[in-house]
Chain A
Amino acid sequence: MRRRSLTLRQLLSFLLSIVAAAPLLLALPSSPAAQKTALHLDGTPADPFLAALGKPVVLIFVRTDCPISNRYAPLIQRIGSKYGAKVALWLVYPSRTSTAEKIRRHERDYGYKLSAVLDPQHALVTQAQVQVTPEAAVFDANHHLFYHGRIDDLYQDFGHARLAATTHELDDAIRAALSGKTPPPNTPGVGCFIADAE
């Protein structure tokens, strides 16, 4: 039993490094990034790309105590429901201090029914090139970074929210990834700085 389990673990990390290699190298050429990893809420290593071979991967970065990312919760959930199994969509909490219990409660409070991972070492943050919550990253079916940045243009700046968004970058990017079209330009989001959550 022990022997079989070890084999499986090795195989997993092998796959992980293949999938993650290209974008990671682009982002941080000299970084030994493969050693950093995101975690499932039960504390085991998580690789959002692993179970999504041939499928676009969508990572949406949120924080439990960021009012702007919280305000997006209903929209994020709607996007998750809209695309269902066509994409692998994950909520990513880039926090070192949030506990699994805190995140489960947050998901419950805000009506999230999406899979969530913790990214305490900012492995996915680096890979996705995001800077604030909420921002999203869309990776195409080959798992190349395809779009990263804001979800839409609801917020123009701190304290300057439109009554309704007029552009919908995340939705457009997912559709483009599914249909092989050109993604929208990467546009930074407005929100809470992920670099603070070290």
Chain B
Amino acid sequence: MTSSGRTIVACLLGFSSATAAAYASHGGATVRPPMPAAQQATFNRDIAPILFRYCALCHRPGEAGPFPLLTYADAKARARQIAALTSKRFMPPWLPVPQELRFADELRLSDEQIALIQEWVEQGAVEGAPADLPRAPQFVPGWQLGRPDEIIEAEKPYTLPASGSDMYWNFIFRTPVDRTHWLKAIEIRPGDKRVVHHANILVDRNQSARRLEAEPRAGFPGMELKIESEAFDPDSHFLFWKPGTVPKPEPEGMSLRLDKDTDLVLNIHLQPSGKPEKILPNLGLYFTDQPATHFPLLLQLESDKQLDIPPGEKRFLVTDEFTLPVDVDLLAIYPHAHYLGKDLQALATLPDGSAKTLIHIPQWNLNWQAVYRYADPVPLPKGTTISMRYIYDNSSENLANPNDPPRRVVAGNRSSDEMAHLWLQVLPHVSSNADFDPRMLLQETMARHNLEKNPADFAAHYNLAAMLQARGAQSEAIQNFELAVRLRPQDATANNALGASLLAAGRIGEAIPYLNAALRAQPDNFDAHYNLASALASQDKFLEAIEHYRAAIRLHPDDANAEANLGSALAEAGKLSEAKLHFQRALRIDPNHKLARENLEQINRDPKNLQQ
């Protein structure tokens, strides 16, 4: 089937929509005479293999495609549509251009496949010999990985209006686990797949997103989320859904930690369909008894601060560069910009001077953003410089430009603002004799890199401080926490962290005002109550300490440390029978709690203690 005719068809690629419509409406009446029957393209032999491999994943009942493409009748009834959409490479949706480093599950048609489809349609879209038809693809119905161990459904549906522009909605899933579990997979069922463009799970260990709900459990709008997290979060997995996603278990050793009281926030991008749509997503959790042994990390390059794009500017370039302080394997990549993004590229320059394209998307389209996993891990040695080059088009020629006429655009979280982000999932190489955790060095280096770009970067100060604290560089940690608090004096997390850091350094008097500030900003902050109680107890202010331990326990009734400390404070205040009760509670929560056991034994040894 390598006829000379195919070359002619290939030359027609990329015509404008007006031309395409005219071309399609005239159907078979094209310039070329029909080919001899022997060379005629047929559905069964030539087209079915393409549709089965590249289209049927979404174009089947219950999936995102608006119509099925499983049979000759399906394809015949859409023949011109298929020809036009594939020739423009709008379908199947696959943004990166081919490169040396291959991605898993690539959905890119070759020029020859596209030409073959054109040829088939021009020749009358014939069915062909039944013997040529390959076996139709088999799909697993329902949950793709079998029955999940837990299914969590959104508590309230979101009703997408019939019309309007794209909508971004967030559902908070309260996880049903009563202790730490390890997950080998999460399957995202985002609701009606025909209106959901993509969905992303963020792990919210501090339940911080709940504060964004106007009404509890109702979810909240918003395109970009900032989730507070522990600065050193070892579970850095992409949890992403797009049409056609088949969930896969995480690689061996890379299970995902799910703690009690962790929320999973599902951020979904919806497009109105013309009628109101009720969106009720659910998640399937698959547990494993294998804790993680390999800990990937998400690195973020970004150049949001450079984003100040004048109206009419067609090629506005922003860049960022980061040099790896350790050897890593690159597992996956996720470029992200909004509607003005045009040409998104990431490169790796290795220490030997060789360069590799990590991804290149010459025609960015936010609607088809995706996480791209490499077919094989990409080893990047220490000293490799990763660079991102994003070009933005803020002219009226950019069809996706949200502003008419174009106006100045800067970085921000709304869809009419812009972003320049590149996320990389890397697995640092761990050598057996290393006396440091390569993930912490990566995090620290990343935080310092961010501070070079922007000395007023709150998160970078906070994260750097947390890394420093973890490796015992206490005074530099305190300095960076102080800078974070100076940037956001009302931030509960930063005030609490500074207070805790001062507390750890024995600077109790200095710690207390920050812990109080954390509670003024967020009265239900468990950590701040707990830390303040501990600070007050260190100053022998037991009655005040008791109040804050009680408040902490009201927030987390099954925290063994809070119960044990409350017991200790009550004992110090002379309330021994009540103290005993709380030691017992601590031991019910954690039968191995050493402090609770020892204190309880001490009270029990001396019965006089119980006589008041």
Contacts and interface: CB of A to CB of B under 8 A. Distances in A.
B162 A162 contact: no
Nearest to B91: A158
B458 to A, nearest CB: 31
A193 B166 CA distance: 25
Contacts of B400: 160, 162
A73 B80 contact: no
Interface residues of B, number: 42
B294 interface: no
Contacts of A166: 404
B81 to A, nearest CB: 5
A188 B22 contact: yes
Interface string A159-198: 1101110100000000000000000000111101111110
B165 interface: yes
A111 B162 CA distance: 9
Given A67-B194, A110-B275, A158-B90, A193 B399 contact: no
Interface in A104-133: 109-111, 131-132
Interface in A46-103: 65-67, 70-75, 97
Contacts of B88: 157-158
B474 to A, nearest CB: 50
Given A71-B163, A159-B365, A196 B77 contact: yes
Nearest to B25: A131
Interface string B46-86: 00000000000000000000110000000001111100110
A188 B21 contact: yes
Interface string B3-29: 000000000000011100110110100
B385 to A, nearest CB: 34
A53 B367 CA distance: 46
A156 B165 contact: no
B66 A131 contact: no
B249 to A, nearest CB: 32
Nearest to B365: A159
Interface string B435-460: 00000000000000000000000000
B353 interface: no
A190 B274 contact: no
Contacts of A193: 21, 24-25, 80-81, 84
B274 A163 contact: no
Contacts of B17: 156-158, 188, 190
B274 A162 contact: no
Contacts of A157: 16-17, 88, 90, 399
Given A109-B275, A197-B77, A67 B66 contact: yes
A187 B22 CA distance: 11
A125 to B, nearest CB: 10
Given A70-B273, A73-B274, A196-B81, A131 B163 contact: no
Interface in B365-388: 365, 367-368
A23 to B, nearest CB: 17
Contacts of B406: none
Given A157-B17, A159-B367, A131 B90 contact: no
Nearest to A69: B274
Nearest to A135: B21
A114 to B, nearest CB: 14
Contacts of B80: 193, 195-196
A70 B22 CA distance: 22
B399 A162 contact: yes
B90 A156 contact: no
Most buried by A among B339, B365, B404: B404
B122 to A, nearest CB: 13
A131 B194 contact: no
B162 A158 contact: no
A73 B90 contact: no
13 contacts: A71-B271, A72-B274, A73-B162, A73-B163, A73-B274, A110-B275, A131-B22, A162-B401, A163-B402, A164-B404, A188-B22, A193-B81, A195-B24
Interface of A: 65-67, 70-75, 97, 109-111, 131-132, 156-160, 162-164, 166, 187-190, 192-197
Given A166-B404, A188-B17, A197-B77, 15 more contacts: A97-B77, A111-B275, A132-B21, A157-B88, A157-B399, A158-B85, A159-B368, A160-B399, A162-B399, A188-B18, A188-B22, A192-B81, A193-B21, A193-B25, A196-B77
Pairs A-B, 6 closest by C-beta atoms: A73-B274, A70-B274, A74-B163, A160-B399, A156-B399, A131-B25
